[in-house]
């Protein structure tokens, strides 16, 4: 499993056979992330295997830590195929599986938006799994999320309730993942019209657009 900057600063990973401990590195990290680690362990232990690592428990002795399944292999890499049809198909497969993962998490009461290649273990086109839920929010506690005048009415009031907020963030997160998967830098265009439409519609999603409708429209045009 990969370790990004957050892991390096705040956590240490300790592998023991087919299990792994994710432990707070310092008392200050424990004060900041201990409660989140406990919540992560409680919620993720309810999950069935196949989409996420299996979780086995939590301890706070000597510092907060969760015990989970060790996943061999590295983070998902950007697509390397030069076949545009295959590229579209793989983007659709990855986004569909990740969307399903976020829906399963939401059914368990967790909102999760840190969707990026670093948090996906495995290859595109395979049964990859999602990791790192310490930053997930409990359903019903997410703050209202607004971004720019297009998402407010003439008086400046937010245009959506919590459900609309969740769907907006889901679309934006999936779009960001698609850009990362395609290896696109800021301002760079996707290589096919279908992918360009997908990214354009996800950049400023209309109020009421749900992530599944947005993704289904893309998949139907492949």
0.85 surpassed by pTM? no
199: phi then psi, degrees, rounded to nearest 5: -70, -35
Tens of pLDDT along the chain (222 residues) come to 555 666 678 888 888 889 999 999 999 999 988 998 998 898 888 887 789 999 999 998 889 999 999 988 788 989 988 889 899 999 999 999 999 999 998 888 888 888 889 889 988 777 899 988 887 776 654 443 333 334 444 444 444 444 467 788 888 899 999 999 999 887 788 999 999 989 988 887 766 678 898 999 898 877
Residues 145, 168: contact at Cβ < 8 Å? Answer: yes
Q: Are 116 and 90 in contact (CB under 8 A)?
A: no
Which domains occur in the chain, in start order?
5-69 (3.30.200), 84-220 (1.10.510.10)
| Tokens matching residue 70 | 């060790």
Provide the 8-state DSSP code for 55: E
Whose CA is closest to 165, among 142, 136, 149? 142
């Amino acid at each position: 499993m990969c370790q990004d900057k957050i892991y390096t600063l705040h956590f240490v990973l300790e592998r023991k056979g087919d299990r792994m401990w994710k432990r707070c590195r310092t008392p200050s990290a424990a004060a900041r992330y201990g409660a989140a680690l406990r919540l992560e362990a409680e919620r993720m232990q309810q999950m069935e295997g196949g989409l996420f690592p299996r979780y086995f428990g939590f301890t706070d002795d000597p510092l907060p830590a969760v015990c989970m399944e060790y996943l061999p292999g590295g983070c998902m890499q950007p697509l390397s195929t030069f076949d545009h049809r295959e590229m579209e198909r793989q983007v659709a497969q990855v986004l569909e599986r990740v969307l399903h993962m976020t829906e399963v998490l939401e059914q368990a009461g967790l909102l999760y938006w840190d969707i990026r290649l670093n948090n996906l273990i495995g290859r595109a086109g395979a049964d990859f799994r999602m990791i790192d839920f310490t930053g997930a929010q409990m359903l019903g506690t997410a703050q209202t999320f607004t971004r720019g005048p297009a998402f407010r009415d003439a008086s400046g009031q937010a245009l959506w309730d919590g459900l609309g907020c969740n769907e907006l963030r889901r679309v934006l997160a999936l779009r960001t993942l698609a850009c990362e998967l395609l290896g696109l830098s800021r301002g760079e265009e996707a290589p096919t019209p279908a992918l360009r439409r997908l990214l354009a519609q996800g950049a400023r999603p209309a109020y009421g657009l749900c992530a599944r409708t947005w993704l289904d429209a893309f998949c139907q045009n492949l």
